[in-house]
Amino acid sequence: MSTAHYIPVITTTAFSGVTYLQSGKVRDIYEVDGKLLIVATDRLSAYDVIMNEGIPFKGKVLTLISEHWFGRMADLVPNHLISTIVYDFPPACKPHWSALEDRTMLVRKATPFPIECVVRGYLSGSGWQEYQASGSVCGVKLPQGLVESDRLPEPIFTPATKELQGRHDENISFDRVVELIGSEHAEQLRSLTIAVYRRAAQEAETKGIIIADTKMEFGLDERGQIILIDELLTPDSSRFWPMDSYAPGRGQNSFDKQFVRDYLNSINFNRQPPPPKLPDDVIFKTSALYVEALKRLTGRTLP
């Protein structure tokens, strides 16, 4: 744990009494009583490089927004979430309640599918780059003449590989997904991904936010049922744009880590470790954007 301007920032965890399993770019995963604790730290990864500085409140924002969306989508597809309330956690977690509060999900175990389920409603990021080169994204042919940030006629499923930390996920075709997980599961994941996105995008627009794209993960539970896992529709896994400043033909303002990416681009960061030092204004502006996304989408605030 470190402190930035008296705001506690958690970038590493070490909890006794529970079994540490692994760490991702942002989350640390523990096992307790046959279930998993997914702890969202305040680490930030940009271009698959973990920054040295944490973003205040970031882990809590990710957890609380995920909890909101898991609840909103439960009738479309079940999910792995058991509880985010520390009092519901197994007794071994009690000594760590203060560190775990609001940034931890107790979840059911699942076997993840080896793909990122990406859906795009707008043309941005790697999708825009791919469209400029080929007129398509992940094998999906798009109309000619689209510009950056254009709304697509229909949301499209643009899956990606799930790479190890430090390596970039790669866009793949739907045929490749079929090769990896079989046609039945591929069709189901495509359908569920687009259904979740459509509902979320419609709800977010009523709150002044465009969800340009998002990625989600699915797994199979102990009964072989498809469930949503990991995080859902957060500023880390999505592009959130304010509706009041949206204009096609350029990059957009956003409520996500694009602010950090823009800073890194401005200093010509080579997208390889080690990361540069983030200035305080970039850190706290990013924190404010994450907290604003939480407030708009869920109505919840953080101190």
Interval 53-67: pLDDT, tens:
999 999 999 999 999
φ and ψ at 9, to 5 degrees?
-125, 125
3-state secondary structure 46-99: ECCEECCCCCCCHHHHHHHHHHHHHHHCCCCCCECEEECCHHHCCHHHHHHHHH
Helix, strand, or coil (residue 241): strand
CATH number, domain containing residue 192: 3.30.470.20
Interval 263-279: pLDDT, tens:
999 999 999 999 999 99
* This prediction's pTM: 0.94
Q: How far apart are CA 130 and CA 137, in angstroms?
A: 6
From 50, 79, 107, give the residue that closes a domain.
107
Distance of CA 210 to the CA centre of its chain: 15
Residue 277 lies in a domain: no
Q: Are residues 146 and 18 in the same domain?
A: no
End-to-end CA distance of the chain: 18
Question: What was the pLDDT predicted at 162?
Answer: 81
Q: Are residues 160 and 244 in the same domain?
A: yes
- Would you mind telling me the total number of residues written for the chain in this entry? 303
Residue 281 lies in a domain: no
Q: How far apart are CA 94 and CA 85, in angstroms?
A: 11
Q: Are residues 129 and 241 in the same domain?
A: yes
Per-residue confidence band for 1, with pLDDT thresholds at 50, 70 and 90 = very low
Q: Are residues 167 and 209 in the same domain?
A: yes
Number of domains in the chain: 2
Interval 196-249: pLDDT, tens:
999 999 999 999 999 999 999 999 999 999 999 999 999 999 999 999 999 999
